[in-house]
Each structure stands twice: as structure tokens, then as C-alpha cells.
Amino acid sequence: MTQSSGSQDGGTAARRGRRPVRPGPDSGPVALLARRLWELKKQAGDPSFADMASRLGAARLAPGSTAVRRHVWRGRVWTAVPYRVLQDTEDYLVVAGWPGLRGLVSTTLIDTITNGGHDRDRPIRELASGTWELGWWAWRRTSVRSWYGLDAYFTIRQFFDAEHRPLCWYVDFDLPKQRTPLGIDTFDLMVDLIADPDLSGYRWKDEDDYEHARRLGLIDDRVHRRVTEARQEVVGLIETRQGPFAHDWTPLPHETWPVPSLPEDAATGHLRDLPSGSAP
């Protein structure tokens, strides 16, 4: 039987004590094609490239490490707060925060928070204008445990008092999260939901802010549809006590934990534009 030249070369190499030369996994035709596709997606601004880069470029966070959650709008940080990591999986990140944490927050938003919500539309106008300054803000009174679904348009949080008694559930509606070397980036979509500790009832919060943000172009029709779907999903999870609400939310004794702090580049490092008001 006549052998191909490749078989003859392989046999000769084996007889001489050398293994046949084959393309490595990083240099074969499949790897080269994948690399070229990656480059083309990046050059074209394909949204899936940002998602791939986010998921492949940032490692999982170890329990006990610091995760920085940033709200980013048009490539600028609006808030940056450090938390302690409890669990990091492929699909979600769980973190904890407590009094003493210090983060960088829009000074206008700080004023609104400290003044009991007075002049609530100023932070929204500020976002629309693209001009704001960051100031230091300290977490007070309550502790919080948060579940960030990476692909979800919402974040579920539970607040506790100083005696570790649950105060309420709080659901932020936000953009899907993008991993960074610091933690995760997202953007707050203004509307929130507050539920009783036993999930027996709930109420919507800041719907006027949401509509104002829509009028100013911060939330387009595509994201609005995603938020509407997310609101229905969250209500269903509350009524059935499923999803993250079925997880173990036992408060942890954080008093002996070291307080996480922001890295120096929290306001400027590893920034990439999130989908500005448009769904991925």
C-alpha cells in the first residue's frame, strides 16, 4: 500500500527517536482562525467582543477579596464602592458591605442622599450633561449583602440593622455587569423595588426618576423593554420565593473583617464604555 508523504515523514521521525511535528493548540489553523475572528470583532466594535473580553479577561474573585462595583456612564465612573467578596461564580457575584466602607460617588448624588432625597432630578440631569465630580462617601448604619447577576438587568440586595436583623430586600434595576480586574461595572437604571423581609409585600420606588431618565435619553426603548421584562421576572421570583431569594442570606459577623478599600485607579482604571442606554 502506498503511504502518503506525511505518513512516511512520521515513520521516519519515529524510527529516529523523534516525534512527528504537529501544530500546537495555539498555532494550528483553528487557533489562527479564532484569533483572526477575535481581531475582526474588536476592529468592528462588535458588542460580543466586549462581552468575550470581559468574561475572559478578568479572573474569578476569591472569597474575602475586594470587589469594586462601579456605575459607569459613557466611559466615566459615576460611583465606585468596594465590597468584600462572599462568592463568585460564572453567573453571579455575591458581596457584603457594612458601615465604614468608603467609596467615590458623584457629589451631586451625595448631596441628594444626605438631604433626604431633595432635588432628586439633579443627579439625572448631571448624567445627561456628562459633567460631574466625584467625592468621598462613607457607608453608615446598615450592612448589606448583594447578589449581582452578571447577565441580569437587576441586582438583589438585603439590608440588615446593627443587630444583624433583616430590614428589607432592595432590588436595583441595572445593566448587565461587565467584569473588570477591579470587580464589576454596570449602570443604575433608576427604578427600584423594596420588599418586606419575609417577601410578603413589595412596592416600587423612583419610577418618576426612571421616566425622567427616559425623557433625557439615558434609557432607550430597547433597554426599557429589558427593564419591563426584568420587573416582571423579579415579581415572579418574589411571589414564588425562587432564584436568588431562595439562597442562604444569613448575615455574617463582619465586625472582625478588614474593611475593603478602593484601589488608587478605581475612578480611571480598566474603563470601557458600557452600552449607553442600549441593550446588548
DSSP the chain: -PPPHHHHHHHHHHHTT-PPP---TTTSHHHHHHHHHHHHHHHHT-HHHHHHHHHHHSPPPPTTSEEEEEEEETTEEEEEEEEEEEEE-SSEEEEEE-TT-EEEEEHHHHHHHHTTTTTTHHHHHHHHHT---EEEEE--S-EEEEEEETT-SEEEEEEE-TTS-EEEEEEEEEPPPEE-SSEEEE-EEEEEEEE-TTSS-EEEE-HHHHHHHHHTTSS-HHHHHHHHHHHHHHHHHHHHT-GGGGS--PPP-GGGSPPP---TTTTTTT-----SSS--
Residues 179 and 250 in one domain: yes
Residues 94 and 232 in one domain: yes
247 falls within a domain: yes
State how far the Cα of 69 lies from the Cα of 80, in Å rounded to an integer: 6
Residues 116 and 210 in one domain: yes
Q: Indicate the pTM of the whole model.
A: 0.77
Domain count, the chain: 2
pLDDT tens digits, one per residue of 54-112: 444 467 899 999 999 999 999 999 999 999 999 999 999 999 999 999 999 999 999 98
List the single range of 4-13, 135-144, 173-182, 238-247 with lowest mean pLDDT: 4-13
Tell me the residue range of the domain where 158 lies.
62-256
When pLDDT is cut at 50, 70 and 90, the band that residue 270 belongs to is confident
Residues 39 and 78 in one domain: no
Residues 36 and 84 in one domain: no
Residues 48 and 80 in one domain: no
pLDDT tens digits, one per residue of 167-191: 999 999 999 999 999 999 999 999 9
